[in-house]
């Protein structure tokens, strides 16, 4: 049994699934769980490129919510797998509007984790009138300080053994810019080299994704079927700074959404998304409630994080009410 199990709602299956054409050759996998007449919410997965897992459905009371979950462009069951064509933050923001309109939803609660917080903030700041509130976990603002921390050596001081594994595929002469070296190889013509780099990249992502490494997550991010598409999409977004207009776009845009209720859930020992980003966002958004979980890392599957996420959705159900 997962340590988060006591804090999650029971497993639930979708009552509807959809394939939604969003242009550029992309078709999104979309599912709905809960009550068709329930409180609308949209779940934004991490990555980018990470895709959905069944546990994502379980943060919401199925008797009160209508939850829309989707695999973003190139991720999970969306097609074509791993495609970078027309794949930027702003395409994903537009996709959410296509899905919302297709499902006849006027506005919805935005729930996102990790990369999903970046996308959730970008979406809410672009379409504040379509958002009833936000629940964000593991805050990622796609600033250089975050990218340098995770991909350019900041984290090596806490994870020296895993950092050595991460940089092993990169020649010593290129390790002054590890991200650039990986980007060249993951998107280069040598398929065997790209796959080897994808496995190393995936392990680095996965072992830092929770306070204690999750063997299942490591396996998913390093296996042949998933590793390369995920690593290509992730490196594509990180290399381009999340396609944001400057380092502080999401902080500067907070004034557009300060009227919206929000809960920010952050693990004190999050290695992927350093807590300073949650603190900086909360400082610019004093109306938002920052819940710093003292005994947690990055993963939504950790007990303290799962507890706070479910508490937040229950509170929003009371606030938005059915």
For the whole model, what pTM was predicted? Answer: 0.97
Q: Which of 26, 236, 298, 299 is catalytic?
A: 298
Residue 168 reports pLDDT greater than 80: yes
Examine the pLDDT at 322 and tell me if it is beyond 70.
no
Beta bridge partners of 313: none
Query: How do 26-34 and 65-70 pair as beta strands?
Result: antiparallel
Active-site entry in 71, 95, 270, 280? 270
The torsion region of residue 243 among left (phi > 0), alpha (psi -120 to 50) and beta comes to left
| Residue (of 52, 39, 61, 131) closest to 300 by Cα position | 52
Cα separation of 140 and 113, whole Å?
Answer: 9
Give the integer Cα–Cα distance in Å for 196 and 199: 5
Closest-CA residue to 49 (of 181, 164, 167, 220): 220
What does the domain layout of the chain look like in residue ranges? 5-142+244-320, 145-242
Q: Is the pLDDT of residue 135 over 70?
A: yes
Span 48-65, mean pLDDT? 96
Catalytic residue among 78, 81, 83, 114: 114
Q: Per CATH, the architecture of 5-142+244-320 is what?
A: 3-Layer(aba) Sandwich (3.40)
% of the chain surpassing 90 pLDDT: 92
DSSP 222-258: HSTTTHHHHHHHHHHHHHTGGG-SSTTHHHHGGGGTT
Cα 299 to chain centroid distance, Å, stands at 10
- 139: CB partners within 8 A, 6+ apart: 117, 264, 266, 273, 277, 278, 281
CA angle 300, 54, 194 (to 5 degrees): 80
pLDDT greater than 90 at residue 2: no
The reply to whether 71 belongs to the active site is no
- Tell me: the pLDDT tens digits for 210-244? 988 878 778 777 887 789 999 999 999 999 999 99
């Amino acid at each position: 049994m997962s340590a988060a199990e006591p804090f999650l709602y029971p497993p639930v299956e979708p009552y509807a699934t959809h394939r939604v054409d969003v242009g550029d050759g992309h078709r999104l996998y979309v599912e709905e769980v809960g009550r068709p007449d329930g409180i609308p919410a949209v779940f934004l997965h991490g990555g980018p490129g990470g895709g959905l897992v069944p546990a994502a459905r379980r943060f919401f009371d199925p008797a009160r919510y209508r939850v829309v979950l989707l695999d973003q462009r190139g991720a999970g069951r969306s097609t074509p797998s791993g495609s970078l064509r027309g794949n930027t933050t702003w395409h994903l923001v537009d996709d959410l509007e296509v899905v919302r309109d297709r499902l006849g939803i006027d506005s919805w609660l935005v729930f996102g984790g990790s990369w999903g917080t970046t996308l959730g903030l970008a979406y809410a700041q672009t379409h504040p009138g379509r958002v009833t509130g936000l629940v964000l976990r593991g805050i990622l603002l796609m600033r250089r300080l975050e990218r340098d921390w995770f991909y350019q050596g900041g984290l090596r001081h806490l994870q020296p053994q895993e950092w050595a594994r991460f940089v092993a595929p990169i020649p010593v002469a290129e390790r002054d810019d590890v991200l650039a070296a990986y980007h060249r190889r993951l998107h280069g013509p040598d398929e065997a080299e790209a796959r080897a780099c994808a496995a190393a990249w995936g392990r680095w992502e996965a072992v830092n994704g929770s306070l204690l490494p999750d063997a299942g997550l490591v396996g998913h991010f390093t296996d042949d079927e998933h590793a390369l598409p995920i690593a290509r999409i992730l490196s594509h977004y990180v290399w381009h700074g999340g396609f944001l207009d400057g380092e502080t776009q999401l902080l500067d845009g907070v004034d557009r959404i300060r009227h919206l209720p929000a809960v920010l859930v952050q693990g004190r020992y999050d290695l992927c998304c350093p807590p300073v980003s949650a603190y900086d966002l909360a400082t610019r958004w004093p109306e938002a409630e920052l819940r710093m979980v003292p005994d947690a890392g990055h993963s939504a599957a950790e007990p303290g994080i799962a507890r706070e996420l479910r508490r937040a959705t229950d509170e929003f159900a009371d606030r938005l009410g059915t």
